[in-house]
Amino acid sequence: MASEKKLVEAITSMEEDFAQWYTDVVKKAELCDYASVKGCMVIKPAGYALWENIQKELDRRFKETGVENVYMPLFIPEGLLQKEKDHVEGFAPEVAWVTHGGMEELQERMCVRPTSETLFCDFYARDIHSYRDLPKVYNQWCSVVRWEKTTRPFLRSREFLWQEGHTAHATAQEAQERTEQMLNVYADFCEEVLAIPVIRGQKTDKEKFAGAEATYTIEALMHDGKALQSGTSHNFGDGFAKAFEIQYAAKDNSLQYVHQTSWGMSTRIIGAIIMVHGDDSGLVLPPMIAPVQVVIVPIQQKKEGVLDKAFEIKEALSGFRVKVDDSDKSPGWKFSESEMRGIPVRVEIGPKDMAQNQAVLVRRDTREKQIVPLDRIQEKIGELLVQIQREMLERAREHRDAHTYTAEDFDVFKRTVEEKPGFVKAMWCGCRECEDKIKELTGATSRCMPFVQEKLADTCVCCGKPAVKMVYWGRAY
């Protein structure tokens, strides 16, 4: 029994050290590994399978809204990056530069893309001529490089995978509608597929994307009470269009600037899945995103007919993502390993079960067991996966709501941030000085100004001046 416990004992308790628990889960569940390139990660098959499922579902949802996929170059000439002042200043500290091609020094150095706004703008300036060319609703799946000082697997690495949408529209209204539409695509995806409840809202000017007119965000709360920005959508207005001379001939033959948007979600969302749903035994994966939804563990598999029955059950469950663990490990080890990997449902089948024409189903999220007749196993597992998906979202929402607090004065605000990790809702006057002061004195940042506003008080929680917005605040990853 001691050897069978080893797999679980290797995980630090999240109550003891949440950061170490997270690292242990990532490593033990074999989602990724450290690379020889400092600050970068090797995404292993289990981790990449998660990303593939995320990519597949997001891509489907994008295309339902008219999005087309394209691909832009990896390198951006320095002159191109410099065209939009706020944008380049925002990214300058994180840019990785290429100075040589082979043995020759480049006449103009190039950056490895930290994001692709400038490349899309350069392309649009040459590709858009008339109102008939609009809208352009493009997305690319790629990797980007940002030279982060502090890294953590999935949450922050120097190279990461993501998608970045870039659109061009004839009017400001169309751009605003697309900005909000894509934010809602992200929010619905997180809640319906990842079982992660999110707060939808707008970033303050301090926190908005460099060069954007407005940035919208979905914010999720992790198990340790820290916030994670999980997807963003930006309205660029016509700022980039003016910097890059992206104009079109309108119906009245006048020259007009386009209005642009950008939106993205990255592999850091895998970190959110881990930190919202995981427990001290490892991953807990929502069925809709789990690479393996059902694992079949044969008990006493060397006995005649047991393995055959396990594969027979797999065949009956062909509508799901199913694996038979026919390794020579003990059943106890297999149970621990399937729990570590977060597989939503475990099916146990042995000689006694076969004699009674039944199997045992075990939920990963609650560990509840039920015995089902083999002739109803497909129906029962289908129902169970739907139930698990729904209840995981409900539990995550209950956790978030239980860790969302209200503060009407600064002493209560400061004490809440320090003593009760989570979101703190408080009124704000709209001044950058108060936002800076709150961060300096509490470590909390503005997460978003939610679309659904509440009037908690008449005055700012920081300075006492008239309040203009209710804001979600919190410490964040």
For residue 224, the domain's CATH number is 3.30.930.10
251 and 325 assigned to the same domain: no
Which tokens in the block code for residue 306?
A: 């047991």
Distance CA 393, CA 276 (A): 10
Partners of 232 in beta bridges: 217, 264
Spatial separation of the C-alpha atoms in residues 413 and 444, rounded to whole Å: 10
Q: How far apart are CA 31 and CA 21, in angstroms?
A: 14
Of 385, 414, 431, the domain-final residue: 385
pLDDT at 242: 96
Whether pTM exceeds 0.85: yes
Distance, CA of 288 to CA of 365 (rounded, Å): 14
Please check whether residue 415 is in contact with residue 406, taking contact to mean a CB–CB distance below 8 angstroms. Answer: no
Same-domain pairing of 342 and 426:
no
- One-letter amino acid at 290 equals A
Retrieve residue 290's tokens: 């789990």
Asked if 466 contacts 199 with a C-beta cutoff of 8 angstroms, the reply is no
Please indicate, yes or no, if residue 285 is contained in any of the structural domains: no
Concatenating the DSSP letter of every residue in 137-153 gives EEEEEEEEE---SS-BT
In a domain, 34, yes or no: yes
Query: What count of other Cβ atoms lies within 10 Å of the Cβ of residue 70?
Result: 14
Whether residue 415 sits in one domain with residue 303: no
Per-residue confidence (pLDDT) for residue 2, from 0 to 100: 41
Question: Does residue 135 sit in the same domain as residue 178?
Answer: yes
User: Is 1 among the domain residues?
Assistant: no
Indicate whether 7 belongs to any domain: no
Residue 8: the pLDDT is 55
- Residue 322 belongs to domain spanning: 294-385
Rounded CA Rg of the chain: 25
Is 289 contained in some domain? no
Torsion of CA 323, 328, 331, 336, to 10 degrees: -70
* pLDDT for res 470: 98
| pLDDT value, residue 7 | 56
The Cα 411–Cα 235 span in angstroms is 36
Structural domains counted in the chain: 3
Same domain, 141 and 260: yes
User: Residue with structure tokens 């697309």?
Assistant: 178
- Does residue 427 sit in helix, strand or coil? strand
Residue 33 identity (one-letter amino acid) = D
Nearest to 353 by CA among 315, 312, 404, 414: 312
Per-residue confidence (pLDDT) for residue 91, from 0 to 100: 77
Q: Assess whether 263 and 299 both reside in one domain.
A: no
The DSSP bridge partners found for residue 450 are 201
Q: Pick from 277, 309, 339: which residue ends a domain?
A: 277
CA dihedral (464, 466, 470, 473) in degrees, to 10, reads -30
> Among 322, 357, 385, where does a domain finish?
385
CATH of the domain at 309: 3.40.50.800
Note whether 109 and 184 are same-domain residues. yes
Q: Is residue 5 part of a domain?
A: no
Q: CA nearest 195: which of 267, 118, 289, 131? A: 289
Strand 404-406 relative to strand 423-428: parallel, antiparallel, unpaired? parallel
Angle between helices 410-419 and 432-442 (to 10 degrees): 40
Measured at the CA of 251, the angle between CA 248 and CA 253, to 5 degrees, comes to: 65
Q: Is 298 a domain residue?
A: yes
Residues 269 and 358 in one domain: no
Rounded CA-CA distance 459/113 in Å is: 43
What gap in Å lies between CA 155 and CA 201, rounded to an integer?
Answer: 21
Q: Is 193 contained in some domain?
A: yes
Per-residue pLDDT 10s for the chain (477 aa) are: 344 445 556 899 999 999 999 999 999 999 999 999 999 999 999 999 999 999 999 999 999 999 999 999 999 999 998 887 677 677 788 899 999 999 999 999 999 999 999 999 999 999 999 999 999 999 999 999 999 989 999 999 999 999 999 999 999 999 999 999 999 999 999 999 999 999 999 999 999 998 899 999 999 999 999 999 999 999 999 999 999 999 999 999 999 999 999 999 999 999 999 999 999 999 999 999 999 999 999 999 989 999 999 999 999 999 999 999 999 999 999 999 999 999 999 999 999 999 999 999 999 999 999 999 999 999 999 999 999 999 999 999 999 999 999 999 999 999 999 999 999 999 999 999 999 999 999 999 999 999 999 999 999 999 999 999 999 999 999
Please indicate, yes or no, whether residues 270 and 307 belong to a single structural domain of this protein: no
In a shared domain, residues 118 and 80: yes
My answer on whether 352 and 468 are in the same domain is: no
CA pair distance 406, 390, nearest whole angstrom: 28
Q: 308 and 231 share a domain?
A: no
CATH value at residue 432:
3.30.110.30
